[in-house]
Amino acid sequence: MLKRARGTRIQWTTLILAVVAALMATIATPTSAQGSKSPGGTVTGELSRPAYSYADAIRESVWVDTGLDLDRNGRTDRVAADIVRPSEAARAGRKVPVIMDASPYYSCCGRGNESQKKTYDASGKPVQFPMHYDNYFVPRGYAAVLVDLAGTNRSDGCVDVGGRSDIISAKAVVQWLNGDATAYTSRTGGTKATADWTTGATGMIGKSYDGTVANGVAATGVKGLKTIVPIGAISSWYDYYFAKGAPYHSGGPDGLARAVESQEAAARCRVVKDELVKGAPRTGDWTKLWTERDYVPDAKNVKASVLAVHGGQDLNVRMKHLGQWWDALATAGVERKIWLSQAGHVDPFDLRREQWVDTAHRWFDHYLLGVDNGIEREPMATIEREPDRWTTDAVWPAAGTEATTLRPRSGATPGVGILGTEPATAGSTETFTDDPRLSEADWAAQVDVRTAAKAGFTTRPLAKDLRLSGSAKVTVTATPSTRTAHLSAVLVDVGPDTIRNYTGAGEGISTLSTRSCWGESRPGDSACFLDTGADTRRVNYTIFSRGWADLGNYADDHIGRPLTPGKPHTITLDLAASDHVVKAGHRLALIVAGTDRGLISAPNSQPKLTLDLARTSAELPLVGGAPALVQRSGGQAHSGPSAPLTSVPAPGLIDRLPTGSDHRTSGRRA
């Protein structure tokens, strides 16, 4: 009995001490936070938790001096940065890190699937911050900073479409947050604003133009930028408008500037737009303008980690941008991770919402709050294999990937050839005539039929799955009948499948009527967004990689010249990066043709082109290399056509805005 009573007293003493310790911890830690405090957030179980009031958050605007005077008004340009940050942290003197999205779209076009724009109250104080970054992360101990690029919304200056002004607009804000630049409390006043409330650690995120700016700022090596999350982002603006001299239908950068600039900038920035026109001739020749807007060579300067996201079927910002940026980052030794979907130009928030928010949350926690949650040690690649079915890989491109040369050769029927590892017989040829009325979908639908506008080559049905992972190249030797010619090369998975409907209005998603909430709401800024679902399509072939070129760039990737009719010319087409599995029973096809309707513009003639098959080849990133192809195809070539193929609609014009913007006119997203 005595022993039992003593044990009871010990248990009560332990319990009382535990309660006192808990109360002391609560007194020592302001707000309703639980767990240990880290700079800027409340972390419990290796995750920042909502501890601050979003409704009571501080909302303010500053104007950061860029040091430029692009609008030539005699005063340096200031860019507007709208800020929302936890008031409790400010009162406690606790500094917070920053999640930043720098965009030209906050007033012209909107952000996200619902095209949200910034809104302000009568005194000019920001009310709505588009997207969920503020709603979700501010309660967890972050500040959200949304920057109007120069020449847009409430910023001074001019839009220069990826040039110095765009990049310095955002870089200057990162520098101000880190104590290395000057900001003011108004657009024209002299009262300075300080960023003494932040740790100076900044992460940039954004889709399309916004993600492009994140790439460009990271390439400057600016201090304080700890990570970037570029989504469907451009890495070289030349490659947005041209493919080795072949023009896309996106117009020129001056058109994009007109689409996004403010009314004030439209009046004062005519000179800048004229410079964009002069610096970006529609000849497709490389100029100094493009050098300034090519971030790939400067990947060596990147100090920030990179979480890159792209749609494998993005026909707006094509996968080449991701492939060349990723490879350059790898060479520079940058810490990185990648998400690849089967959709088009779509934000992962609208593809796989719960998993994406969790990934971004843990990513920012690690790189901005310093939480050791292990995300950097997890698999590098998250890849969508089928609609809503995702897998992971330890590295990307996949381990065991080898650049493997496949060669086209003639088959039993002219125009319906064989693709394999054996070279073509010297002197063998295939001929086609450019028909700008046709698209890649038209070619693929008739890969087993002789047509005048393309040359197609296929393997035999595969015995096992064959995976391609990374970037491909196709080298073509062609003899034109005219002085100008454009070429297209596409890789096709020939066989039945269900894919995301990437040529549809939603580019692979459908917007539903229900909403889900991600973070906290307040009047004027809801955390609840329309849900989405996969928009799928049943097909008999899938085009999964593409490349284009002006044959006139045969001697120089950057400069075109007239062709000599009747003379062979050799050029290499860079195909978009991809990660695709050609399933057992399917065939892998290579199609070479002329103008790809809806994707590149036609030349000023309709040439007949004769391919020298012995001097034409494809270098493909096969997992397992050439042996994998031989094992999967049984070492034999395809010997005959399969059943007729159903057609996928041709993609529409890339420039949904008539002026060439990458924003959709439907206002859905950019």
- 307, β-bridge pairs: 337
User: Pairing state of beta strands 143-148 and 96-103?
Assistant: parallel
**Which is catalytic among the residues 314, 393, 525, 612?**
314
Q: Which of 339, 60, 286 is closest to 191 using CA atoms? A: 60
Per DSSP, the residues of 536-605 read EEEEEEEEEEEEEEEGGGSS-TT------TTS-EEEEEEEEEEEEEE-TT-EEEEEEES--TTTB---SS
**Which is catalytic among the residues 310, 345, 486, 586?**
345
b/e map of 628-649 (b: 16 or more CB within 10 Å)?
bbeebbeeebbeebbeebeebe
Which of the 8 DSSP states describes residue 446?
A: T
216/152 Cα distance (integer angstroms): 18
Going from the C-alpha of 282 to that of each of 250, 287, 424, 559, 560, the distances in angstroms are 11, 11, 37, 12, 11
Which of the 8 DSSP states describes residue 205?
A: E
Q: What is the CA radius of gyration of the chain?
A: 27
Q: Catalytic: 345?
A: yes
Helices (H) and strands (E) in the chain, counts: 14, 32
509/348 Cα distance (integer angstroms): 11
665/611 Cα distance (integer angstroms): 40
Q: Which of 510, 477, 494, 461 is closest to 637 using CA atoms? A: 461
**Which is catalytic among the residues 208, 262, 488, 601?**
208
Q: Which of 670, 654, 528, 665 is closest to 103 using CA atoms? A: 670
Instruction: Sort 76 into a burial class: Cβ within 10 Å, 0-12 / 13-18 / 19+.
Output: middle
Three-class secondary structure assignment of 343-390: CCCCCHHHCCHHHHHHHHHHHHHHHHHCCCCCHHHCCCEEEEEECCEE
Report the largest interatomic distance among the alpha carbons of the chain, rounded to a whole angstrom: 110
- Residue-level length of the chain: 670
* Peptide linkage before 414 cis (omega within 30 of 0): no
Q: Which of 230, 211, 158, 147 is closest to 181 using CA atoms? A: 147
- Indicate the SS3 state at residue 125: coil
- Indicate the SS3 state at residue 410: strand
**Cβ contacts of 521 within 8 Å, gap of 6 or more:** 54, 135, 527, 528
Give the residue numbers annotated as catalytic, written as ranges. 208, 314, 345
